[in-house]
Amino acid sequence: MNRHPELLIPASSLEVLKTAVIFGADAVYIGGEAFGLRAKAKNFSREDMAEGIRFAHEHGVRVHVTANILAHNDDLPGVRAYFEELREMKPDALIIADPAVFEIAKEVCPEIERHISTQANNTNYGTYNFWWKQGAKRVVSARELSLKEIKEIRQNIPEDMEIESFIHGAMCISYSGRCLLSNYFAGRDANQGACTHPCRWKYSIVEETRPGEYMPVYENERGTFIFNSKDLCMIQHIPELIDAGIDSFKIEGRMKTALYVATVARTYRKAIDDYLEDPALYEKNMPWYLDQISNCTYRQFTTGFYFGKPDESAQIYDNNTYAKDYTYLGIIGSEKDGLYQIEQRNKFSVGEQIEIMKPDGRNVEVTVRRIVNEDGQEQESAPHAKQTIYVDLGAEADLYDILRRKEEA
């Protein structure tokens, strides 16, 4: 079977969903206001979810809704009511980890595909076949699997069953994301969607009889970050991912900005399309992919477990800072008399050189000529986040183009 991989992009809000759709997603995955594992994400109200599904479907893009908490007794009535609402909105798939939640979905909305979350620890073809027999269309592989193992799974499951695998983004330090640190330290359950990310914190040692005396543990001069993982990046390995039989290339990042989503979606979209058109074209354009993927906020990169168990240098990084080359300024909205409406996200000023980032891969350098507020008054700068302003860029822009500014090294 000649598989054309789906590019599956995360969306934290309606704005980000639209960005993902315009910048190349085949499918997006989103969370509602309950029962997903990103409680701190903006998530989607009922109204925004309905609008997002409508927008995506108008552009031929699928929508998958996460409902992947590990449910407790008190959750089950609410899950049922939630799925009854979703049945009316008609998303394309539900991403589920809990068997009870799976059974409710099968009963309430059997017409919506059921996908098994990575939270269910899917590490072998027997598990895949089990879920297939229960009525699952797709299983998300555990991040601890190698390409060799995924290829063996592909050879031992029905041809129509789909494999989804993370190919880019943050790697949880705990097995398939099953972490207790947040619950222990902050009383917020990662498996209920409330993770505080204590794996990113800086740690010291306290000796039992000397409370309050913090003794540093040094990996380097910046301290120790003993639970940190590098970010996954497989942009250089599209051929191996396809050869392994992966049906859906999943990007992590359901709490990321529109700029991050646009950058990653556009880069992987072009890499996948180039490879399917001509492997030589993919190799030729590799410098462009690597340059573009480094333009969004990220930690140091790794290939994770795909080529075998990573050693310490391949997995653990030595600080908790992000690389950041560009600042997100806003998304192009309506146009009138040469002025483009945007909801401004970070400060910029008249006379500054910024870029219009386009879905087709172009980055157009422009100089901000004018900034006008909603009252029609001229401003020298746009200092307030979320302010609606109108800008003259001296160049043509299209709806949903991204505005960004390159930061000095």
Taking residue 5's Cβ as centre, other Cβ atoms within 10 Å add up to 22
Cβ burial of 186 (10 Å; 0-12, 13-18, 19+) is middle
Token couple for 344: 């401004």
Token couple for 249: 């290339």
DSSP, collapsed to helix, strand or coil, labels residue 353 as: strand
Report pLDDT digits (tens) over 329-361.
Answer: 999 999 988 999 999 999 999 999 999 999 999
Left, alpha or beta for 131 (phi > 0: left; psi -120 to 50: alpha)?
alpha
Cβ pair 36, 1 in contact under 8 A: no
Token couple for 269: 């979209």
Asked whether the predicted pLDDT for residue 26 surpasses 70, the reply is yes
What's the CA angle centered on 390, arms 386 and 395, to 5 degrees? 125
Cβ pair 168, 241 in contact under 8 A: no
Split at pLDDT 50, 70, 90, the class of 41 is: very low
pLDDT for 216: 66
Token couple for 43: 């998530």
pLDDT for 33: 72
Cβ pair 272, 285 in contact under 8 A: no
Task: Give me Rg for the CA atoms of the chain.
Answer: 22
Report pLDDT digits (tens) over 144-203.
Answer: 899 999 999 999 999 999 999 999 987 766 655 556 666 656 666 655 556 666 666 666
